[in-house]
Every structure is written in structure tokens, then in C-alpha cells.
Amino acid sequence: MNVTADGLRFPDGFLWGASTAAHQIEGNNVNSDWWQMEHSGGSIAEPSLDAADSYHRWREDMDLLAQLGFTDYRFSIEWARIEPAPGHFSRAEIAHYRRMVDGAVERGLRPMVTLHHFTVPRWFAERGGWTADGAVDLFERYVRATAPIIGTGVRHVCTINEPNMIAVAGAIRELGTEALPTAGLPLPDKATTDALIQAHHRATAAVKAISADIRAGWSIANQVYQAQPGAEAVTAAYSHPREDVFIEAARDDDWIGVQSYTRTRITTDGPIPAPDDAERTLTGWEYYPQAIGHALRHTAEIVGDVPLIVTENGIATDDDTRRIAYTTGALQEVSAALEDGLDVRGYLHWSALDNYEWGSYKPTFGLISVDPDTFERTPKPSAAWLGGLARTGMLPRAGR
């Protein structure tokens, strides 16, 4: 990290990017478990339907990111498209995602490919999901089948996005929505946790067998558990099954993804809501750009010398000036972590596009807005601002 009179200069080769997930932007992911849930008459507010139509418009999305100045693009490939029926792998879908990798490289965007971002094939869910016999074997088989997609041109692969949130979802499925506390998270399902950790290790080995040049890791949702006076032991016990056990599983990885948006305060009685006077985002979370700094330090303390990449960080807001303010604060935290010697390799903003946020289109995280009728893309001022930082590699000092 180089501090100059003009600002904070980030290291050469730093990953400056934005992230998306297939189900949230592609549209019509009809063979996935989420599509089934969206159309089952349950509690999901609205279905994804066409989403941002990025399955067809990915070239336009990548063109915009490259033109704006970004150097990296994290996107996921959809298991439910690639293996729509057990053991049937679609050559057409594999070719589609390979074109996306090639398209990113042609535009000067380094692709980071996520193999699993929350959704699974409907058939996988119907046979019992992650805790069914043979589930890990099936995931490993799918990962091996992605070789034509990731075998060349891809340096970073994320095996599983936010496995701790998947395990929490497993607990909610087991116990029902009454398991949701007023603050904090339910206790993750232990069987799902164990299966996901095993799946990650098996997937990592499969990725390395495809190409030894690929750097493999996974990304963890950091809740930034902050102990209130006297609650240090309670906080450590609360954090371990919800977060730390997944970070520990990455100690032999090439990198670990750090994802954080807000904080959770813990008292001796457990988590408490944000203060009544706190600014809140469209998701209801406390506006807290310092979260990513705490998350980086906490992850580094647990994982050791494994490189860190911020794979998601952002804010749901319809006021783009608050997005710039939030991201400025977050990048100041990243720069402080670098100054203190943490090995932070990149910052990828969530999200490149306004998209489907798992039940609703109302929380707008995107740097680029998407018209729901025409799918026209319009970069927001924050996109030009962050892309400009990517070009210079420098966060200007306040007032410059």
C-alpha cells in the first residue's frame, strides 16, 4: 500500500471488479430449486422471471464493465442449466459459459467463476439436497464437468458462495420460519455444514485436477459479530458455527472470499438489533461501511496467511450518493488493512447490476440500473466513480 499526497494507492495487480450471480441476473432458470420455490405459492414476494435477461445480454454487461474501467468480473455458472437432469450434461450450456469466459478475457476482464451460488438443480433438491446420501459425490461430478468452462483463461474459481448462509437456510427448512430470530441468525444445520465443507474440499481438488494454475477458494458471509461489554465469550461461541468453522475450512486454500455488508452486536443475552436511530439500507440493515475492515481482520486472524479477496461488498439504496459514500468508507477500511500488512488482493463490488435479491427486486445494490421492461442498462454515477478508481488504482483523499 502506498500513501501519497493525492490519496491511497492500491497495489499493482489489485482486482478491481464487480460481482453477479447467475440466478439473480440471467432469467428463466427453470430447472433450479429456487425457480420451483418462486412458483410454489409460498412466502417469496415475487418471482425472478426474466431477471435482468443477462443470459442473453452478458456481452452488453461485460462491455459496460470494461468501458467503465473495471479489470475483473465475478459471475457464477448455473448447475441447474449445465446438469438439468441427473448425469445429463448440456453441451450447449457448457459452450454458453465458455463463451462468457472468452468474452471476458477478450474485453480485458479477468473472470472469477463461482461454481455454486445458492441455487441447485431441482432434481438435486428433490433427492434431499446437501444432506442426502451421495450429495458431495454429485457436486464433485458437476465440478469435473465444468472443465471446458474453467480449464483455460480463469485464474480464480470460487467453489461455493456463502456456505454458512446455505447451512442457515438448511436450519430454516428443518425448523420453519419460526426459527428466525429478531436479530442475528439461526444456528446453521450441522449436517449441511459438514457436507458443504466436504464438498468444498472435494471441489477444490477437482478444480486443481482440471488446471493446477487455477487459484481455488470459497467466499464466506461475514456478519461482523461485535462483542458488547462482557460478551466476548458469548460472541465467540455464537460466531463459530455461523461463520468461523467455514473460515477454518479455508486454511489450505489459495484464497478466501470475504463478504460483508453490516454488523451484528452481541450482548451476554445474544444478538441485538441495530440502534433505533441508525441509518438503514433498503434491506433494513444498518449502514455500516466499516464492516468490511472488521471482516478482513477477523478472517485473517482465523485463516492465517491465506490471501484475502473482497468478493462482495455494497449497499442496497436508491440514493447513489450514499452508495459512493458507503464504498468510499469500505475502501478506506481495505486500504487500512493493507497498511497493517493484511494480504488483500482485490475488491469486487456487489453488484454490477440491480438484480433479483432472493425474493424481491426492490433492494437495488447495482452500479448499473436495469429497466424491468426493456432491460436497458444505465450506469449510475457510482459505476463511473468506482471504474475510475480501477483505472488509477488510487482512492483520492477527501476533497480531491
Q: Rounded distance, CA 195 to CA 224, Å? A: 24
Average pLDDT estimate for 112-138: 98
Alpha helices in 215-366 (DSSP H): 232-239, 245-248, 291-303, 320-339
- Please indicate whether residue 184 or residue 58 has the higher confidence score (pLDDT): 58
Q: Which of 181-195, 211-225, 273-287, 342-356 has the lowest mean pLDDT?
A: 181-195
Residue 209 confidence class, pLDDT cut points 50, 70, 90: very high
Joined grid coordinates for residue 180:
428466525
* Mean predicted confidence (pLDDT) in 315-328: 98
The mean pLDDT of 306-330, rounded to a whole number, is 98
pLDDT at 127 over 70: yes
Checking if the pLDDT of 6 tops 80, the result is no
Q: Assess contact for 26 and 78: CB atoms under 8 A.
A: yes
The owner of cell 483523499 is: 397
Is residue 7 pLDDT above 80, yes or no?
Answer: no
More confident residue, 182 or 237: 237
**Per-residue confidence at 396, pLDDT binned at 50, 70, 90?**
confident
Q: Is 359 helix (H, G, I), strand (E, B) or coil?
A: coil
CA distance 243 to 313: 17
For the domain spanning 11-393, the CATH number is 3.20.20.80
The pTM for the full model equals 0.97
According to the model, what pLDDT value does residue 397 have?
Answer: 72
> Which residues are known to be catalytic?
312
pLDDT band per the 50, 70, 90 thresholds, residue 337: very high
Distance CA 26, CA 350 (A): 16
Averaged pLDDT, 346-355: 98
pLDDT band of residue 2 (cuts 50, 70, 90) is low
177 confidence band (pLDDT: 50, 70, 90): low
Lowest-confidence region among 73-82, 104-113, 166-175, 384-393: 166-175
Q: How confident is the model at residue 8 (pLDDT cuts 50, 70, 90)?
A: confident
> Where in the chain are the domains?
11-393
Rounded CA-CA distance 355/52 in Å is 6
Give residue 120's pLDDT. Answer: 98
Mean pLDDT of 5-21: 91
CA dihedral 378, 384, 385, 386 (to 10 degrees): 90
pLDDT of residue 304: 97
- pLDDT over 70 at 116, yes or no: yes
Asked whether the bond before 351 is cis by omega within 30 degrees of 0, the reply is yes
| The residue to which cell 459479530 is assigned | 225
Mean pLDDT in residue range 30-38? 97
Among 180-194, 255-269, 324-338, name the one with the lowest average pLDDT: 180-194
Mean pLDDT of the chain: 95
| pLDDT (average), residues 257-269 | 98
Model pLDDT, residue 170: 85
Residues 149 and 110: beta-carbon distance below 8 Å: no
pLDDT-derived band of residue 182, with 50, 70 and 90 as boundaries? confident
Res 400: pLDDT: 44
Average pLDDT on 54-75 reads 98
pLDDT value of position 199: 99
Q: How far apart are the first and last CA of the chain?
A: 19
